[in-house]
Structures are given as C-alpha cells and as structure tokens.
Chains A and B, each alone.
Chain A
Amino acid sequence: MSSTVSTQPPVSVAGSAAGAAPRRRTRPGGPRRNLAAAAFLLPAAALVAVVLLVPFGATVYRSLLTDDLQPVFGGLSAYAKLLDDPALSLSLLNTLLWMAGTLLLPVGFGLAVAVMTNAQKWGRIARLAVVLPYAISGSAVAVIWGYMLRSDGAVNQMLANLGLESWAHDWLLEDPLNTFGMIMANTWQATGVAVILFLVGLQTIPPETVEAAAIDGADGWVRFRHIVLPQLRPVTYVVVGISLANALRTFDVIWVMTQGGPARTSETLALSMYRESFLLQRPGVGSAIAVVLTLIVLASSWLYLRGQGKAAR
C-alpha cells in the first residue's frame, strides 16, 4: 500500500485539480484559432465519415433491397423476415443474455479481484493469473473451453472423478446452457482488462480519503461501499462501456465453440448477420440484422453516456 501511495504524485495532482472546481477556463482564441482547431479535427472527422458512416449508409441501403440475384427495392421486407424467423428472435434474446452476462460477470469479478488484490503482497501473482488470459486470442480461448465443455471434456471428467456424474451435462449441446458456458469462457478472458482498469481506478483514489475514513472508524466493507466505490465510478463507466461493446460484437468464441448451434440455438446477432449474409446468401436480411445491431449499440451507448453525464453533474 505504501509503495502504491508513493508512486502517485501525478494522480494526486490530477485529483486536486478536479477538486478545485469551479475552474476558470482559458478563453478560446479568435476565429483563426478555431480554424486551426478545425484543421486538426478534420482528418479524424473525415476518417470516421469514410470508414464508419459511408459503410453504414451502404448497409442501410442494402437492407432495403431484396435478396434476389438482381436485387430490387423491397422496402422493409428484410426487417419483416427478421421478426418472422424464430431463429433470429432467439438470436436477439441470446444477444441480450450476452449483454447481461458480460455486464455482470467480467465487471463484477474484475472489481472483486482488483479490490481484493490491490493491497496484498501476493496480489501481483493473483492478478497475473487473472490478467494472463486477456493476452490469448478469442479463438484460442474458445478452443481451450471447447475441449473443457464438450461431453467427454475436462469438466465432465472432473465431475465424474468427484462422484458428481449427475451434475454432468452436454454443456455445448443444451440450450441455454451452451450460451451460459460461452459467457463463462468469455468472462475468463475479459475479466483481465476489467482488473487492470479497476486497479488504475483504485490507484487514483487519494489515500487520505481512505485513511480519514479509517480514523473515523469505518471498517472494510463500509469503507469500500462509501469511500472507495463512489470514487471508482468514472472507471466503472469505462469498464461497463468496454464490456458492453465486447458483448455485442462477440463472434470468435461462439463461432469456434458451437458455430451458433445446435440448430442455431446459441447464435447472437453478430453470428446471424454472418450466417444470413455469407452462408445463406441473403445480404438483405444480413444487412437488416447489422442495422438492428447498430441501433442496439447506439441505444445502449446513449443510455450509458446519458447516465454518465448525470453522474458527473
């Protein structure tokens, strides 16, 4: 703990700067200065427009065309198919499961591991063990977990050795167990980044606030609940944001472990988009799924940023 405190001068400066509100902002310069600022912004704005907005526009346009060899304007027919197909409804439900699972598990475990190991001497080793899987690619994680979860895999073998055969399942074949299993695999990998971010957050907390609480008689849990946790709010937003984005774009783990099967029961919207576009050759429906997925991402990001704005105020 003491070494942590002694390595934080820049952090405490930043902390006191934030606490010195209301600060007077330096006045912006004249139009020339604004023009210069615009020139600096332009490359980034142009890049976003070219690589993000133009393809998105093209995707929206494609979603309004039919899936014939010579596509014609089909209105919202691709979106109607999306609602009709039970496989796609299940895919939407799975996507929501992934969102909930990824928000609860990596964020929760990440916070717990960071808080519990931050002040411990052996914390570095424990953290290394948790952070290490983050360095592995999603496909490799999926291969490892695939061997663990398949019906003759490590998990069932371990249960059998412990005399718990009745707990054994066909983890990747039963719905929704397969989705839960894959969320666990993803958690194993994604917790690492949450730990790193929460550790950074913990180290930005001015030690005097914690010490003051300790002098006032606040014990471990009360201190964590009322002193540490509120000060972790900014970093929590970052972790939640990253986890949300990761959950919505999850593809590799699912594709390698189940290919969305059996019978499309473990598909998420990212997989459905791929299947419809490239395997079933329905670019219209595939584009419609992409648009819906984008809307979900935008809506959740908006809600989240709005919440963050309120909290900041």
Chain B
Amino acid sequence: MVIGSMKRLLVGGVAVTLAVGLAACGGGGDSGGGAQSVSEVTLYSDNPQWKDGFEKVSVDLKKLTGGTGITPLSIPSTSSYEQVIRSSITTPKTADIVKWWQGYRLQDLARTGSLTDLTEVWDEAEKKGWVNPGLKDQFTYKGKVYGLPLSQSNWVVYYNKKLFAQLGLTPPKTWDEFLAACEKLKGAGAAPLWTGQTDGWTSFIPFEEFLSKSDPQFYQDVTSGKASYTDEKAKKALAVWKEMIDKGYTSKTDIKFLDTPAQLKAGKLAMIPLGTWFNGTLSGAGLKPGEDYGAFLWPSINPSAPKSVIVESGVFAIPSAAPHKDAAIKVMKSWMDPAVQATWTEFLGDTSANPTVISKDPVLAEIAAEVKAMNPTLLTRYWEASPPALVEGNVQDLGKFMLKPEEADSVLADMQKRAETEWAAWRKAGG
C-alpha cells in the first residue's frame, strides 16, 4: 500500500518535472519565434544609464516603423559585455540589435560572418542626408556596411568650471597654458587631470592624446601598423606623460571613470579627458552643463603640428542569428531619422551622427563650434584604430607605464613586439 502510493508520488513527480521542463522549452520557443508581428526587438548595450533614453526612442520608433520598438538590456561592464556578445552572437539567444564599436572592432565581428549586411540601410540613410558619408569607412568590411552610428563623439577635456573660475583660469589654448593650469590646480589641492586604468581600457586615453597632439600623422601610422612604437616620436609622447606624472599633474590611477563625476563635483578632480558621450553621464550626476562644468579641445603639444581631434562612434549592428532580424532591420532603417536622433541625442547629451540634428546642450554646442572653426583632422580612437587583440594587450602595457613611468622604453618595446605579432595574425586571418 505504502509502496504503491510512493510509486504514484514518484510518477507524479516525474510527470510534473517533465511538464515544467517542456513548458520552459516551449516558452523559450515562443519568445524566440516570429510567427506574430514583433512589437519589440531586444537591444544589448554596455551602458545601463541609457535605458531611459532607449525607452524614449522606442516611442518614436514605434510611430515610424508601424509598431516595432526596442527593449533595452544592458551588461554594465565593457569587458563582460564584450565576452557575452562574442560568445552568444552566433546563437539564437543573441539580441536583435547589439551595440558595438567601429573600425577594427566591427571588422573583427564582421569577418566571422556573425553580422547582417546593412549596406542597403546605410545607402538609404545617406541618400536622405541622414548620415555623414565620411564615416562610412569606419562601418565597412570588404565593401559591405555592418553597422549604423550610435552618435558621433569628439574627445574633449571636461573641466570643473567653478574651480577654474576660482583660480582665474580659462580653458587652455596652448600646451604651455595647459601645464600652467595643471600647476595652479595642483597648488589648490585638486588632482589636475584624471588618468585611470582600473576599468581595463582607460589607460590608452593619455597615450592617444599625447601622441596625436604631437604628430597626428604618426598616430595614424603607428595605429595602422605602418610605424613602430619604438620610434622617437612615441618615446617623446611617453616623456610628456612621464613629466606630467612626475610633477603630480595626474590623478591616482585607481579611480574608475564612472566615479569621476562625483570627484569633479567635489572639486577633488579638475579635468576629465573623455568623449562627448560622457556629457550625459556628467549631467546625470547632477552637474549643470555650462555652469558646473565645461569642455575644451586638447591643445596641440607641437604648435606646428596639424590640428586634430579624436572621434568615436558607437555602432548598432544586427547579428546574423538575431531572432527577429527583419524587425531589427526595420528599426535600423528608422534609426537615423531626425526625429529619433533628436530624442536620442538630447537624452544622451552627445552629438548626433545625423548632420541635420543640432544639439541644444551648451557644452556640446560650444565644442561643435570649436571643431567647425578649427577644421581638425579627425582621428579614430585608439580602441578601434588597431586589431582588438593588439589594443587589449597594449592597454595593459600602458597601465604598467602609468605605475612605472621610468620603464617607458621597455613598455614601448613590448608594445611593438605585440604589434608585429598581432598585425601578422590579423593579416593571416584575411583582415
């Protein structure tokens, strides 16, 4: 009797387990299937602070696409985000749209065949004047476009406006003025310039700026594998950096970039060198653009060198295995629409890649005017300017330099050795 009831219990238990399991599988199938019209496509990014912006944009997109919006999901660490996307992009569990990076980073994904060809979408947007044709190369691999720009960021130096005013400082126009400002800020007890490495990628920021502001052509040559890291010009750039470290003009290197707004607000930090995409984060932290903080373009170290600005654009791409690929393409066709871009860039606090959309933010407007007046050479950010494995390795070496600036020569030698290996690997793989 007891055995009989135990058996029934066991059979019942197994049946329930199977039913739950099957239901779970069935649920997964439903969410992945595209039998009915799709009202939301999933969008992955590495920035949780963009959630509200995506939700606002989704309302505009629904109007334009006839009912398809976006559901944003984020993984708030760039390194973890990359790993998740890379390992899931060929599976049906990937997102419909993924945020990625331009240049070699996009090529790296595109050459594995895991991205959808968006040439038609790009051409259509270009025909309407919704995207700057000059950006196309940064989104292209072997003649095909694989992404659309998220925004168009210029790399600037944010500064604590109140602190500058207290000390009688104005945004520096020359390198000497910049160094003089650092000295004065240091005297006032603030860390003049934030330089960090704990985030895993930020160590390239001073390197790319000191190198490109000394010789933009050399920066392009060294990042494209045509010049050596052991060249005198690279050594000089690290010498500039070392001098700044030795004089105490740089912050402690274990401050994460997302902790800098609080430090700027508290007056502990005076300047933050980041892209205009950070403008939204600063204002989101309660700092008023134009009042609490402003931004200026890096002055040239070598006055006779051509003016240059580092530019960067995040990318939206569609995985080949996207569960709702057609709906995602439909969304991308409306992404560059001025109505969508106006909402998006207003939220983001960054410049739109659609030249017809003008920002109302005072800091961005000032930078846009400065860029227009200067007419600088636009340089690709270091993160996207070389094959990813080379950049990932070199940022570690630059992190070492930040702690041991006296080892500049051996750091550059290691970077060059890696450049030779990784460029050979990139070319061998058909890059």
Contacts and interface: CB of A to CB of B under 8 A. Distances in A.
Nearest to A259: B200
Contacts of B372: none
A259 B108 contact: no
Interface in A247-270: 258-259, 261-265
Interface of B is mostly: helix
A275 B83 CA distance: 9
A163 to B, nearest CB: 20
Contact of A69 (B111, B252, B389): B111
A290 to B, nearest CB: 14
Interface of A is mostly: loop
A152 interface: yes
B331 to A, nearest CB: 28
Interface in B219-253: 252-253
Contact of A151 (B87, B254, B388, B425): B254
B429 A68 contact: yes
Contact of B197 (A68, A151, A262, A274): A262
A62 interface: no
B430 interface: yes
B250 to A, nearest CB: 12
B83 A173 contact: no
B136 to A, nearest CB: 24
A279 B388 CA distance: 8
B402 interface: yes
Interface string B67-100: 0000000000001001100110000000000000
A281 interface: yes
Nearest to B430: A69
Nearest to B201: A259
Contact of B403 (A262, A274, A281, A282): A262
A211 interface: no
A281 B400 contact: no
A150 B254 contact: yes
B389 A151 contact: no
Interface residues of B, number: 30
A261 to B, nearest CB: 5
Contact of A282 (B79, B197, B389, B428): B389
Contacts of B393: 280
B252 A170 contact: yes
B389 A170 contact: no
A151 B402 CA distance: 14
Nearest to B87: A278
A274 B399 contact: no
Interface string B404-430: 000000000000000000000100111
B396 interface: yes
Interface string B279-305: 000000000000000000000000000
A279 B399 contact: no
B183 interface: no
Given A261-B396, A262-B197, A278-B87, 10 more contacts: A150-B255, A174-B403, A261-B197, A262-B396, A262-B402, A263-B399, A278-B86, A280-B389, A281-B388, A282-B389
30 contacts: A69-B111, A69-B429, A69-B430, A150-B254, A150-B255, A151-B254, A152-B252, A172-B198, A258-B198, A259-B79, A259-B198, A259-B200, A261-B198, A261-B396, A262-B197, A262-B253, A262-B400, A262-B403, A263-B396, A263-B399, A264-B396, A265-B400, A279-B83, A280-B388, A280-B389, A280-B392, A281-B86, A281-B388, A281-B389, A282-B389
Per CB-CB distance, the 5 closest pairs between chain A and chain B, nearest first, are A263-B400, A278-B83, A151-B252, A262-B399, A69-B429
Interface of B: 79, 82-83, 86-87, 108, 111-112, 197-200, 252-255, 388-389, 392-393, 396-397, 399-400, 402-403, 425, 428-430
